[in-house]
């Protein structure tokens, strides 16, 4: 069952409802789930179709994604399920918003994932004004987090998540967990309308340190959630030390939150890389 003193929400990062069901059985609870095109492409049914030499039509793939999402949503009715819009380098704001609005109607507990780009931020700004819940994804810098805060001003608590990807920064030799710490500190000067969702969690140390830092949400693959259960759902105290090893520290920047979102430098090459990978994985499923 859920540890009594746990304040962080625990999400599963995956695209298979059967996996969701098993994790709920193991944990005794689950606060939500995050999905993306790559995770959906790894769904057993999608993989079986590809193994038969078959692919989805453009209509079928969205129908399949919706079916997966609907099955997951039933399992976490009080939680949140993040659904990611398709985006490549040429996808415009209006197209992202249109797909986001359609996906938001799929289930009653959706957060729509938009990338932190000019087009994605513009779509998120419009979505929030229309009352949709959003998750700004592929975050790799404080400036991006500041832009998300500004683009979603006026949102209610629980309406906006931001997903910094720690593992992909680690892959570049930088301490991804520093970004979580820095964003939480920066958001401390604001109104609290954006919740930090620690993503791209690669190991139990990432997971534990996110709990220690007070991340609003942590999403992790089933493997790591199972490891946490094996550690008796350990909750780190003030003595917990995260060993960053040889990763280069990411210094805190004194960034104000009072500018318009377009005034921040929100470009990051890893965001572009992430968009490219997600779109490639999605397109591999289509005829």
Tell me the pLDDT band of 186, cut-offs 50, 70 and 90. very high
Structure tokens at 236: 């780190």
Q: What is the mean pLDDT of the chain?
A: 96
- Cα-Cα-Cα-Cα torsion 126, 118, 181, 250, nearest 10 degrees, comes to 180
Q: Superfamily for 9-283?
A: Aldolase class I (3.20.20.70)
Q: Is 113 a catalytic residue?
A: yes
Torsions phi, psi for 258 (to 5 deg): -105, 10
**pLDDT tens digits, residue range 206-265?**
999 999 999 999 999 999 999 999 999 999 998 999 999 999 999 999 999 999 999 999
What does the pLDDT read at residue 1? Answer: 81
| pTM for the predicted model, two decimal places | 0.96
Given the residues 113, 223, 231, 246, the one annotated as active site: 113
* Domain range annotation of the chain: 9-283
**pLDDT tens digits, residue range 98-134?**
999 999 999 999 999 999 999 999 999 999 999 999 9
Say if residues 135 and 34 touch (Cβ distance below 8 Å): yes
């Amino acid at each position: 069952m859920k540890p009594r003193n746990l304040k962080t929400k625990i999400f599963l990062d995956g695209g298979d409802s059967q996996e969701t069901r098993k994790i709920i059985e193991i944990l005794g609870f689950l606060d939500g789930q995050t999905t993306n095109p790559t995770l959906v492409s790894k769904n057993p049914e999608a993989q079986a179709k590809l193994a038969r030499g078959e692919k989805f039509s453009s209509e079928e793939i969205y129908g399949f994604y919706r079916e997966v999402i609907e099955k997951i949503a039933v399992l976490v009715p009080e939680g949140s399920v993040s659904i990611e819009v398709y985006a490549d380098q040429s996808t415009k704001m209006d197209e992202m918003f249109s797909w986001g609005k359609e996906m938001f109607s799929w289930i009653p507990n959706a957060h729509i994932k938009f990338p932190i780009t000019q087009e994605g931020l513009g779509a998120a700004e419009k979505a929030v004004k229309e009352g949709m819940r959003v998750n700004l994804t592929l975050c790799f810098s404080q400036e991006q987090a500041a832009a998300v805060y500004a683009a979603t001003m006026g949102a209610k608590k629980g309406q906006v998540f931001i997903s910094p990807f720690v593992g992909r920064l680690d892959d570049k030799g930088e301490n991804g967990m520093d970004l979580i710490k820095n964003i939480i500190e920066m958001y401390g000067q604001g109104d609290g309308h954006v919740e930090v969702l620690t993503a791209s969690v690669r190991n139990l140390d990432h997971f534990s340190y996110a709990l220690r830092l007070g991340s609003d949400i942590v999403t992790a693959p089933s493997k790591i959630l199972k490891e946490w259960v094996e550690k008796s759902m350990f909750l780190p105290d003030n003595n917990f030390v995260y060993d960053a090893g040889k990763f280069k520290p990411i210094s805190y920047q004194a960034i104000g939150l009072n500018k318009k979102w377009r005034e921040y430098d929100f470009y990051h090459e890893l965001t572009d890389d992430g968009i490219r990978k997600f779109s490639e994985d999605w397109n591999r499923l289509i005829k």
